[in-house]
Structure 1
């Protein structure tokens, strides 16, 4: 393996992806807002705290309604925990921009304007923590990480040291329209513990009976299904040595077949599932099922007229892998502290006090943001025992939280984007019978090797 080339390729890829979605980083970091407020990232002045201000931190995060809202609540809990003068400047920065700005600062050696704490996507963690050693604070001895879901802790562990405080769960499940399933002759009991083959057969019957698509995503980009299945079996798209895990993976081989069958049977509404059309298709009833994470619940419940029409269950199970489970994770993020922060100790104490020690905080953000925690003591709180009227009184958050405890840990490695992109170069040709499965996976591995310099 050519480590130097791999590192360079990884950095160029991250920068290319990031700058394709956002404007290039400015010379100055985002401006810090007035104490206790939130602002966008592009205002243009310094993000440093005001001299002499006691107990003040600056944070970069994305999503006003989820991550940022939870952080505002966390600040309230910290003030109530004996820090009445604590101020939190939360600057809204999109995920791609967080990565681009971090790369720029770390490679230039100029840390001025960087925050004290930033949000990091779990799939990117290993790449940043490994490529920029010494830039993130070692939190191993600061808090008890055995109190968190271990698959989240492992995502932020490098050389036996932990560098991130786990936040939200991406516990995965299968959502389905009960009315459409009933029309096709299926009960809620029939939806439990499906294999992927059974999932497809139900989809065919639903399409035949109702005319509705079964799922929604751009078919050649269906690699997220492969990722879901891989983690359910404790694998990932790369092996321990960083090479592609395509040809030799029974999971990848089975799921390529699953995607092809879904495509051939015309069960896929062929639009990006995060687009307005994709989300609208789910909300309006154009599709009968959707595999996603616990954080998708607000997307469903935001349409009150669909009350009692949606059910949920665990994800389908692989048939070709002996150790496969019905538990997996999709996405998620965690908090990291920058080593060069002048407020490092305050930042660590803040995260330890609230995110690693306050059960009431997690109860509140569950009720207000639908944020399911990966802090295990909080999962026994009263909020998780409350039934959800939209889902017929079912304890949906408790169920997803319990599933989250069972998610296998995997090493996401440094090349999640690159491996997914490599597979996407061959999926359509495989679907259209222009390539055999062996030919497709062989070409995908060669494409990946070229991308990362193997």
Structure 2
């Protein structure tokens, strides 16, 4: 199983929803973990969110009485992180691996099941009852807890009020949309403003499917862990939605979370973004657009009973490597700041839009903050309240394989080479071939 999973990770160069910019190169010489006993090397992605937050945590820890402490955060895409971790684990060579690594919640079970002995078990060090239970569940394996939960992925629809007004829509018109209404608005925006409606590659738009599935309490797998494509009502509805977006050229075809996708949003090329609360930091990085953005809940499915307007996208956790020469320091650092520092959480909430899942931090005044960028809307209060309505799902161990299977056939469906039924049948066959079922 370990070998098969490693091969899949090597071959799937862009499965993750949140893949960010690749390592900048200048940090290559600094990647070796444990370069001294007061420096921690951390692998993370997203220079607008995860990276500056980890650097801020390092400054807090230094002020907490650890004057010589340093945190060396290496910017590395999610995909590169996974591939380099698997390479190190399978080769048995720990040199060059980090002390702490950021792992997306969709990937945690695969890592901990296949490489359990490579991660430090933390239940004796961290009070996990103080974190949101759905996040703790994501990093629990065989009664052990192998990472510290970090951010919530509570999702919403961000939109440019000026572009929508030009297309004939008010903020009231954007409330409680269905997915088909969302597409129609996109058509009107493109026709009347000439702007792209969204920015992502439709045949790789499985993050839309995942938001929609979680909003209905469903996932790629059934209760027995078997692949659930052909009869999954969410996948069927969202495949049609994605095809409509592609056919009408509503999406600028760029990688959603790579530099070109972020640039399309921050340069003003697009009118809307379906993403999580953590994406607010990226939107706010375009200071010239302050006051032009608003948000609402995500669109709702029409064909699925009990569907909601609430979902999760992404979210991640911090894991410590068992073989790190600085394991004890890494655990103490994470415990002190990410599992105990309310002031730190209040600051990253306002500064970076980081809605943490550390429960004691959620009663602070920062959650009442009226953000001038969003015309004094209480964005953190709203997204936090939405998070309480998110249906829970079991991500299983093969989410990335399921993503790859669907992406392998979506374009043929868009091009009318396959019917919807044929497309989903082929996707199931691909998935079963990869996992050996």
TM-score scaled by structure 2?
0.88
Which residue of 33, 40, 49 corresponds with 1:66? 49
Pair 1:15-2:15 in alignment: no
Pair 1:75-2:58 in alignment: yes
Which residue of 262, 283, 296 corresponds with 1:313? 296
Distance, in Å, in 1 between the alignment partners of 2:14 and 2:430 is: 22
Q: Secondary structure at the match of 1:120?
A: strand
Q: 5 Å matches for 1:99-110?
A: 99-110=82-93
Distance, in Å, in 2 between the alignment partners of 1:249 and 1:16 is: 26
Q: Secondary structure at the match of 1:290?
A: strand
Which residue of 27, 30, 33 corresponds with 1:47? 33
Which residue of 133, 148, 160 corresponds with 2:143? 160
Q: Secondary structure at the match of 1:90?
A: strand
- Which whole-Å deviations, capped at 9, do the CAs of 1:153-205 have from their partners, x for residues lacking one? 22212233321101122221101121232233322122112111222233333
Which residue of 120, 129, 132 corresponds with 2:115? 132
What is the CA distance between 1:339 and its match in structure 2? 2.5
Pair 1:88-2:95 in alignment: no
Pair 1:209-2:195 in alignment: no
Q: Secondary structure at the match of 2:159?
A: strand
Q: 5 Å matches for 1:250-265?
A: 250-265=233-248
Give the number of aligned pairs: 430
Q: 5 Å matches for 1:14-413?
A: 14-17=9-12, 41-43=27-29, 47-50=33-36, 53=37, 57-81=40-64, 83-85=65-67, 87-94=69-76, 95-274=78-257, 276-413=259-396
Pair 1:453-2:432 in alignment: no
- Which whole-Å deviations, capped at 9, do the CAs of 1:325-353 have from their partners, x for residues lacking one? 22222223211122233443443232222
Q: Secondary structure at the match of 2:381?
A: helix
2:33 touches 2:99 (CA, 8 Å); kept in 1?
Answer: no
Distance, in Å, in 2 between the alignment partners of 1:18 and 1:217 is: 17
Instruction: Quote the RMSD (CA, aligned, Å).
Output: 2.9
Distance, in Å, in 1 between the alignment partners of 2:340 and 2:85 is: 28
Q: Secondary structure at the match of 1:334?
A: strand
Q: Secondary structure at the match of 2:405?
A: helix
* Cross-structure match for 2:19: none
2:100 touches 2:318 (CA, 8 Å); kept in 1?
Answer: yes
Distance, in Å, in 2 between the alignment partners of 1:273 and 1:341 is: 33
Q: Which segments of structure 1 move beyond 6 Å, counting only runs of 4 or more?
A: none
Distance, in Å, in 2 between the alignment partners of 1:90 and 1:392 is: 36
From the superposition, tell whether residues 109 and 445 of structure 1 become closer, same or farther in structure 2 (CA, over 3 Å). same
2:278 touches 2:352 (CA, 8 Å); kept in 1?
Answer: no
From the superposition, tell whether residues 154 and 86 of structure 1 become closer, same or farther in structure 2 (CA, over 3 Å). farther
Distance, in Å, in 2 between the alignment partners of 1:195 and 1:433 is: 25
Distance, in Å, in 2 between the alignment partners of 1:227 and 1:20 is: 13
1:59 touches 1:88 (CA, 8 Å); kept in 2?
Answer: no
TM-score scaled by structure 1?
0.85
Distance, in Å, in 2 between the alignment partners of 1:303 and 1:79 is: 31
- Which whole-Å deviations, capped at 9, do the CAs of 1:354-403 have from their partners, x for residues lacking one? 21111101112223333221212222222232222121111223322332
1:149 touches 1:405 (CA, 8 Å); kept in 2?
Answer: no
From the superposition, tell whether residues 297 and 155 of structure 1 become closer, same or farther in structure 2 (CA, over 3 Å). same
From the superposition, tell whether residues 58 and 178 of structure 1 become closer, same or farther in structure 2 (CA, over 3 Å). closer
What is the CA distance between 1:291 and its match in structure 2? 0.8
Indicate the structure (1 or 2) with the bigger Cα radius of gyration.
1
From the superposition, tell whether residues 281 and 135 of structure 1 become closer, same or farther in structure 2 (CA, over 3 Å). closer
Distance, in Å, in 2 between the alignment partners of 1:193 and 1:19 is: 32
Structure 2, unpaired ranges of 5+: 17-22
From the superposition, tell whether residues 207 and 399 of structure 1 become closer, same or farther in structure 2 (CA, over 3 Å). same
1:40 touches 1:93 (CA, 8 Å); kept in 2?
Answer: no
What is the CA distance between 1:49 and its match in structure 2? 4.4
